[in-house]
Chain A
Amino acid sequence: MALVEVRDVVKRYGPFEVLKGLSLEVEPHQVVCLIGPSGCGKSTLLRCINGLEPIQGGEIRLHGDRVSGPGVDVNALRRDVGIVFQSFNLFPHMTVLENVTLAPIRVRGVPKAEAEERAMTLLGRIGLDHKAREYPDRLSGGQQQRVAIVRALAMEPMVLLLDEITSALDPELVAEVLNIVRDLATDGMTMLLATHEMGFAREVASKICFLEGGVVHEEGPPERIFKEPASERTRAFLKRIIEAGRL
């Protein structure tokens, strides 16, 4: 059974339809990369799966349990589905350690000492334990994004959604963030990521989904999608990416 099942999801902002009956599956331990032009609905899809945006049609299932529509405990859903944003969104008035321990303490009810110990272990893994008492504004973009990943991981989610997490970073900081994602993939974390880093997608993805026009236009293993895309539109998109020097 797929861990995340997205079936015929429709999402509208007023009269503007972003997702037009989109379907997608993520198996456990899979890394699924969403690629596609700006405005194709990659971020919107991730926000819908996390329950940050209500959907107007179709359904989303997590581990077989329906998590979209009325009556769903979105707080419970979000405990199991972590999301990392393009703009980090760390809490500026809290130290790194407080950022990471806030949700475990307040949502999961983990004792403070235990949460901090776990947070320090995680921060140690990404080499930022010496920054635990600093405020986010003192960290570089790459460091902030790594903390944001750890903040999501501290809730021990079943699946991690990554929304263009390197797009706001200076080029030389991208690698340190991608390395963590690579490590997570090796550790077997199930991930669904929207990205413009095609080289990275090609390397870590189990499956590539090309989104266009509010649906998954083409999907398949990275070797096939990047080498011999079946659809003309996928080809055109990849050609533009290559022209921009991104692949």
Chain B
Amino acid sequence: MSVEAERAAAPAAPRKGLVAHEPCYDASARPPSVPVPPVGLSLGALATVLAVIAATFWAIAAVRRAMAAAAIESVLADALLYGFGALTLLLLLPATASVRAARRARAALPADLVAARVETAASRSAAGVAVGYAAAVLVVLGVAVFVIANDAAVAKTFVFLPLMRESFWLVFDAFWTNVYIFVIAEILVLIWGLVVAIARLIPGPAGQPIRLMATAYTDVFRGLPAIICIYLVGFGLPLTSLPLLGNWPPEWYAILALTLTYGAYVAEVYRAGIESVHPSQVAAARSLGLSFAQTLRFVVVPQAVRRIIPPLLNDFISLQKDTALVNVIGAIDAFNQAKIVASNHFNLSSVTTVAFLFVLITIPQARFVDRLIERDQRRTRAGSG
């Protein structure tokens, strides 16, 4: 007998009350929802966009006046300004589309509910796009007005082009000191952090004193501000006149201090990465006869490293920025050089150059790591990717 036949032949089982009653299938008891065409919203979006466009052209005129006053007007600048103005006209597209969709939605009611819903949704989303972009334009206008306010005081103080041009190579050359410090420090931190992380994870009673030392180290150096560490190391060690540590160039002290500080952070990153590898991976490796050290080396650390790249990069960017602190011990890095220029000219534009340089080097690093992560996921994750 087939299963179906068996079921059919069986007597009806007594109901146990898990299904309380027959579900309601009556359409009139559940009326469909009627959309409300967002006419007000779309008109509001249109008004906002028009106001922003007006403000844009007012701001363009103001910027051109300021440039004329500073005698730096040029055809290129004008083209850029009016190009920006023309771009803001594009805001009208979503705004008017929103108004039209709202009107279509109203026309479709009450006959065609589905069309009305579609148009309502389209109108809402177009209004959202219009207002969102208008807000972005408004922020740009705000910055422009801030820069040219008070006879372009902000522009002259922070981005005085003649001084930036004049001091650029001086500052740029000094920036190599920062690069030198952070490249060496990053390499040392990578090694030192791993040593400390593994020291914190050594098992058994024999590992106890090592674990305690490593814990104490991370606690102290994570709590110690980098600038104080640099100050103490950079001024303290030379004062001791110790045979090997007493007369280094200031850059070396900076590298040592930054390695000590960031080694503590990176050790914690490593440790989190190592502990995030599932214990079953360790069990599998140990069950194959791999020793604790082999398990770390071949199974745990390779998986941990892949996971810690993003947080590690954050710490590295942080370290790169903290190389600007070395000016407290008199190393001539980009910031220190820029400060000298700034005080000579009573203008901060050279410091802005340093700021640009720092931002410029971090952006490609972030993109690089994004790509690394993507590639790794393509390689080890399932799917066509």
* A residues whose Cβ falls under 8 Å from a Cβ of B: 47, 50, 52, 74-76, 78-79, 82-83, 85, 87, 89-93, 102-103, 106-108, 135, 137-138, 151-152, 155
Contacts and interface: CB of A to CB of B under 8 A. Distances in A.
B280 A87 contact: yes
Contact of B379 (A52, A82, A91, A135): A135
A92 B381 CA distance: 9
A122 B382 CA distance: 24
Given A102-B298, A106-B294, A50 B287 contact: yes
B299 interface: yes
A106 B290 contact: yes
A102 B281 CA distance: 13
A82 B287 contact: yes
Nearest to B283: A52
A151 B283 CA distance: 14
Q: What are the 3 tightest A-B residue pairs by CB atom distance, in nearest-first order?
A: A89-B284, A103-B288, A107-B289
Given A89-B280, A92-B303, A106-B298, A78 B286 contact: yes
A92 B285 CA distance: 12
A91 B281 contact: yes
Interface of B: 280-281, 283-291, 294, 298-299, 302-303, 306, 379-382
B273 to A, nearest CB: 13
A65 B42 CA distance: 84
Contacts of B379: 135
A79 B291 CA distance: 11
A76 B289 contact: yes
A78 B380 contact: no
B288 A151 contact: yes
Nearest to A53: B283
Q: Interface centre among B287, B303, B379, by most A CB within 10 Å? A: B287
Nearest to A50: B287
Contact of B289 (A79, A87, A135): A79
B284 A91 contact: yes
A83 B303 contact: no
Given A78-B286, A135-B380, A89 B298 contact: no
A152 B380 CA distance: 22
A138 to B, nearest CB: 5
19 contacts: A52-B286, A74-B286, A76-B289, A83-B287, A85-B283, A89-B280, A91-B285, A91-B303, A103-B289, A106-B290, A106-B298, A107-B288, A107-B289, A107-B294, A137-B381, A138-B382, A151-B288, A152-B288, A155-B288
A93 B380 contact: yes
Contact of A93 (B280, B294, B303): B303
B274 to A, nearest CB: 14
A137 B380 contact: yes
Contacts of B302: 93
A52 B299 CA distance: 17
Nearest to B382: A137
Contacts of B306: 93
A79 B294 CA distance: 14
A107 B299 CA distance: 14
A89 B283 contact: yes
Contacts of A92: 303, 380
A74 B283 CA distance: 12
Contacts of A75: 289-291
Nearest to B294: A106
Contacts of A93: 302-303, 306, 380
A74 B285 CA distance: 12
Contacts of A74: 286
A90 to B, nearest CB: 8
Contacts of B288: 78, 82, 102-103, 107, 151-152, 155
Nearest to B284: A89
Contacts of A76: 289
Contacts of B280: 85, 87, 89
A78 B289 contact: yes
Contacts of B299: 91
Contacts of A102: 288, 290, 298
Given A89-B283, A92-B380, 6 more contacts: A82-B288, A89-B280, A89-B281, A135-B380, A155-B288, A155-B289
Nearest to A88: B284
Nearest to B299: A91
Nearest to A90: B284
Q: Interface centre among A82, A90, A102, A151, by most B CB within 10 Å? A: A102
A47 B280 CA distance: 12
A78 B382 contact: no
A103 B287 CA distance: 10
Contacts of B290: 75, 102-103, 106-107
